[in-house]
Structure 1
């Protein structure tokens, strides 16, 4: 395995996890058009950002322990799929379940091959 491939396999789940958290945070912006007062808007925004905060905590843990990232991201994808099965369109399921499934699999791969992957200097 080349050095470039090793670096890609180490950094891709982290970067994709951050991008997915940013993607989820976009959905919290709908509180600004709801006609709330300033403090109600702040509270609603914080409540809507709870999943993003949870994913950022998961990313922080997965940065050190890849198996934690694999379990959390694969668990999130599975949970969302089970909870919304039959209620959401296939496109929506793929948009929400696809990225954490990919990130979880990349963390799993990173964890299985960590000794070989860590032999490259970052």
Structure 2
């Protein structure tokens, strides 16, 4: 299991991920849509090869700061959560191509939206 490349755990009523998730060596995709996740374990910061993270339809109130340390993360889908703000580090992530933020009560600073739009890196509607 340590060599797992893709993990699909959608609609499994997960309230939390085990801290052992960080022991996976090379996952490139995590599909966690439709669970009850309110946060991610700190060990998720060890998923350095992660490129796609699908957290749609969970219960996240904020984006975990540890995501900023994932150097290869290109796609971040957080549609339909409870996000009220977008942290500054999202704009600074060089590899992040398109954060999908639709259907959140997110209040984004206009300058942040402009910067992300200029790079073609944001989906709001």
Q: Same fold (TM over 0.5)?
A: no
More strand by share: 2
More helix by share: 1
Structure with more contact order per residue of length (Cα contacts < 8 Å, sep ≥ 6):
1
Larger radius of gyration: 1
**If the length of structure 1 is used for normalisation, what is the TM-score?**
0.21
